Amino acid sequence: MIRVHARRILRDRLHRGTTLLPQGEIGKSAIVLAPHPDDETLGCGGLIALKRASGVEVTIVFLTDGAGSHHAVPQSELAATRRVEAMTATSILGVAPGHVHFLEIPDGALEQSIEQAVDLLAPILEASDATQMILPHSMEPPADHRVVHRIADAAASRLGRSLTGLGYPVWLWDQWPWTNPLDPPRVRHTNRQIVRIAARDRLGIGLTRYLTHRVDVTSTLELKRSALAAHRSQME
């Protein structure tokens, strides 16, 4: 009950402290960088669907194969499964198959593969007319999420491209009171990380410093839910 009440207070505070993303930003063509399949839907699936419903071009790039999410499943099998799920989810959001790319860097190894990722991302970015880049928020805890900013900056700099950047939260929400971080499974965060994140973000209050804009995805919420359900290996 305490957590529900605290979450309601913080949600209202976030709503008051953030600005609706201008319609002009929603109308910009975009390239979406997802560290793993399902991050695109969790982080900005509603925005992707909004753009596509307006006829705006969206390109999605999955940087890792996502094969590290379930250790009991062979990695090659899980990578193949998550690729199929990602294609289904992005199709539901309205993105054509030709605008979906997989860099296939091993899950968990993105920080050690920055140069390789830049080499693979640069030609995709060069072929895109995107004026906006949507990527994980810079305060995301997992290394595979945080390092995407370095990869994006390096690829854009190599091409001399200047893009508007939008950061989406995924794991930023995985803290009290939005979730109970002590509930299993705790694959991504150790107990030390849980305490560090709680201290850094002052039990969720700090999110009001990081998140500056919001998007009304009421009209595309069901599409987002359907796309998320397509990531069955993660949701079930």
Domains of the chain: 22-171+215-229 (3.40.50.10320)
What angle do the packed helices 39-53 and 75-92 form, to 10 degrees?
20
pLDDT at 187: 57
CB 63 within 8 A of CB 34: yes
pLDDT at 160: 94
Q: How far apart are CA 6 and CA 208, in angstroms?
A: 14
pTM, rounded to two decimals: 0.93
Q: How far apart are CA 208 and CA 82, in angstroms?
A: 33
Our measurement of the distance from residue 168's CA atom to the centroid of its chain's CA atoms, rounded to an integer in Å, reads 6
pLDDT at 78: 92
Closest CA to 219 of 85, 60, 52, 87: 52
pLDDT at 124: 98
Mean pLDDT for each consecutive 10-residue tract of the chain (236 residues)? 87 92 96 98 98 97 92 86 98 98 96 97 97 95 92 96 95 85 67 80 79 96 98 93
pLDDT at 107: 93
Our measurement of the distance from residue 193's CA atom to the centroid of its chain's CA atoms, rounded to an integer in Å, reads 20
pLDDT at 210: 85
